[in-house]
Amino acid sequence: MSDQDMNLSSGLAAFEAKRFSEAWPLLKPAAEAGNAQAQHRLAIMCQNGLGMVRNDLMAFKWMRASADSGYALAQHGLGFMYLYGECAEKNEAEALKWFTRAAEQGLSGSMMTIGMIYEQGLGVPADPAEARRWYERAEKTPP
């Protein structure tokens, strides 16, 4: 196992153990090298002020980088940033795009959120039938 892989593993373990100030320096090199999991964890830390002062710009930067890499959890997170205007300008159409990308990878939480978007008409015309389709799809998706 390379030093970089070891640092990534140690950083992910520190993050899961909520030792955020320890996780940051271990995850940052992997994130800068393009590791989507590391980018996602840094985004969460920045967004929520975990082990650091909250930083919306950095949260968006890392979440977007991870989402662009195809990491479904980051696509879901980026969808929420756009849906609620947190760390990004509120943009419901952009939110739906990112939730859809995550749903296409089987993320049932994104499917449920898309159902809510259609049920409530957030940036799209309210469509109870489309909402129901997404809710049913989420229910049939294994966790």
> pLDDT tens for residues 37-96?
999 999 999 999 999 999 999 999 999 999 999 999 999 999 999 999 999 999 999 999
> Could you give the 3-state DSSP secondary structure of residue 107?
coil
How much is the pTM?
0.94
Q: With contact defined as beta carbons under 8 Å apart, do 129 and 106 qualify? A: no
Residue 65 token pair = 């980088």
Crossing angle (nearest 10°) for helices 56-68 and 72-84: 140
**pLDDT at site 135:** 97
**pLDDT at site 37:** 97
Q: With contact defined as beta carbons under 8 Å apart, do 26 and 9 qualify? A: no
pLDDT in tens, 96-130: 999 999 999 999 999 999 999 999 999 999 999 99
* pLDDT higher than 90, residue 5: no
Residue 50 token pair = 């975990």
* pLDDT higher than 80, residue 143: no
**Mean pLDDT across the chain, nearest whole number?**
96
